[in-house]
Amino acid sequence: MMKKIKTTCVYCGTGCQVYLKVQDGKVVATKPVRDGFNPGHGKLCIKGWNMHEFINSPERLTDPMIRKNGSFEKVSWDEAIEYIVDNFKKIISENPSNNRVLACLSSAKCTNEENYVMQKFARAVLYTNNVDHCARLCHASTVAGLGSAFGSGAMTNSIDEIADADVLYITGSNTNEQHPLIGTQILEALEKGAKFNRFHYLGVDCRICTSLWNNHRSSGFCKSNCYS
């Protein structure tokens, strides 16, 4: 019997809602959620339509492994969890006044709720504030810049408002490839007469509908934004 499980697409920050189709305990397909709140408005990009494929990839680890005698061996989940707990307790007891010996690294493939649980675990259980994220390297500068300019290091508008913008200025993003459904919002704005200014050194499809195209050398990226 086929059943469906509602979840969030993991490929970008748009947050599109999807149904994973499960048959005989195996995820076999992905379908968009077409009712209720959905940032994707019932649509999915090519990545979203195929997000179930990596679940069944033969390259995935499906069992916990512990290094024994110089090599990794498969173990049960109970043994793996017990091993982790024992070592966490040992490290914390050996360093009672040093909360910098442990750290947690989160993932962009997790939902906001999962990342919240992870940081809560780090602070409440491991007693550490050392929480990092795989996207920090590329987003640290934008968070700082937005915080300084607008008071918050996050979006100052909703995704849906993009379609109603009069002018769009995009820099450092290949939107159609990286966030395809946000790209559709841009195209909708263009159909309404919005002006689209792009500043990027990568050749992208969006330039065919760009009002102002600035194709610069990579070394000029920071300079241009400082003087814009």
pLDDT, one tens digit per residue, over 188-223 is 888 999 888 776 545 445 444 555 555 555 554 444
CB 196, CB 211: distance < 8 Å:
yes
Q: What are the residues facing 105 on neighbouring strands?
A: 132
- pLDDT for residue 30: 93
Second CATH level (architecture) for the domain 2-56:
Single Sheet (2.20)
Span of 59-63, 87-91, 186-190, 196-200 with lowest mean pLDDT? 196-200
| pLDDT > 90 in the chain, percent | 28
Query: Is 133 or 80 the better-scoring residue by pLDDT?
Result: 80
Tell me: pLDDT of 161 over 50.
yes
Mean pLDDT score across all residues of the chain: 82
Mean pLDDT, range 111-117, rounded to an integer: 89
Mean pLDDT, range 113-120, rounded to an integer: 92
Q: How does residue 134 score in pLDDT terms, banded at 50, 70 and 90?
A: confident
The superfamily CATH assigns to domain 157-227 is: Dimethylsulfoxide Reductase, domain 2 (3.40.228.10)
Mean pLDDT, range 148-163, rounded to an integer: 85
Q: Is the pTM of this model over 0.85?
A: no
Long-range contacts for 106-115 (Cβ within 8 Å, ≥24 apart)?
A: 106/131, 106/132, 106/133, 106/134, 107/133, 107/134, 108/10, 108/13, 108/133, 108/134, 108/135, 109/10, 110/10, 111/7, 111/8, 111/10
CB 146, CB 128: distance < 8 Å:
no
Q: How does residue 120 score in pLDDT terms, banded at 50, 70 and 90?
A: very high
Residues of the chain with CATH 2.20.25.90: 2-56
Residues of the chain with CATH 3.40.228.10: 157-227
